[in-house]
Amino acid sequence: MLEVRDWGLRPYEESLREMRELRRARRRQEVPDTLLLVEHPPVITVGVQGDDGEPAPSGIPVVRVERGGKSTYHGPGQLVGYPIVDLNPRGRDVRRFVHDVEELVVRAVAAFGISAERLPGKRGVWVDGTRKIASVGVAVEEWVTFHGFALNVDNDLGPFRAFHPCGFDGRLMTSVTEEAGHPVTVKELRAPVKEAWQAVFSPAFVPGEARASGPVVSAVPEG
């Protein structure tokens, strides 16, 4: 059984506290595998690989967290997904889990005619190998996942250009609206994301068998 909780617009640190508690609840088997969907007010989050020492865009708060990767930006118009998944019945396969998170995003944006992909040596989800439409960074404690993906839908991409999100040039960031060539809202993305969550994570897990092609990624992915 899979669950989705839609939090709407919620401050990052409040979401972080509740996400961590939900991870503990999943570890205790009190809740099923759950996808949290949320938008955040503007915030820069910095993963375990740090921020290269560069200053954050003026006026945007910075929060350091335990997910993989470097720094990235969240803001209204970006759909953030936090899959809280117990990896014990899934072979404790972190690489497979990250692959499946990326596959979820690839399927969701395909609903808008966007052909996205993974790239060897580059984390996240890309369009035409040159434009990054979603960042991925997870953490795993006691074999339960938290943190997840950030999909640019119709958010302002300007803040990305003020630093190096995930170590990349911020000008590489794109969005569903940019790629579709017409306005697309977070509300419109929710249904495709929920459908992809069910399609990718519902089938029985088969050790060593990925449900879609793509390169194997590191256990602690970067942005």
Q: Where are the domains of the chain?
A: 2-201
Task: Average the pLDDT over 28-56 and give the result.
Answer: 89
Q: What angle separates helix 186-201 from helix 94-110, to the nearest 10 degrees?
A: 140
CA–CA dist 210, 39 (Å, integer): 29
Residue the block writes with tokens 């909780």? 5
For residue 167, give every residue at least 6 positions away whose Cβ sits within 8 Å of its Cβ, in sequence order, or none: 49, 52, 70, 222, 223
Decide: helix, strand or coil at residue 142.
coil
Three-state secondary structure of 90-124: HCCCHHHHHHHHHHHHHHHHHCCCCCEEEECCEEE
CA–CA dist 188, 99 (Å, integer): 24
Would you tell me how many other CB atoms lie within 10 Å of the CB of residue 87? 18
Concerning whether 63 is annotated as a catalytic residue, the answer is no
Who has greater pLDDT, 54 or 156? 156
Residue 173 gets which letter from DSSP?
B
- Per-residue pLDDT reduced to its tens digit, 101-114: 999 999 999 999 99
Q: What dotted CATH number matches 2-201?
A: 3.30.930.10
pLDDT of 216: 28
- Per-residue pLDDT reduced to its tens digit, 49-96: 877 666 777 789 999 999 988 889 999 999 999 999 999 999 999 999
Q: Left, alpha or beta for 50 (phi > 0: left; psi -120 to 50: alpha)?
A: left
Decide: 214 and 103 in contact? Cβ < 8 Å: yes
Task: Average the pLDDT over 135-156 and give the result.
Answer: 97
* Residue 1 banded pLDDT, cuts 50, 70, 90: confident
85-94, 97-106, 115-124, 161-170, range with the lowest pLDDT: 161-170
* Residue 214 banded pLDDT, cuts 50, 70, 90: very low
CA–CA dist 150, 110 (Å, integer): 16
CA–CA dist 104, 124 (Å, integer): 11
Task: Average the pLDDT over 160-166 and give the result.
Answer: 87
The active-site residue, picked from 108, 166, 176, 189, is 166
pLDDT of 211: 47
Residue 78 gets which letter from DSSP?
E
CA–CA dist 10, 12 (Å, integer): 6
Pairing of strands 33-39, 78-84: antiparallel
Query: Is 218 a residue whose pLDDT tops 90?
Result: no
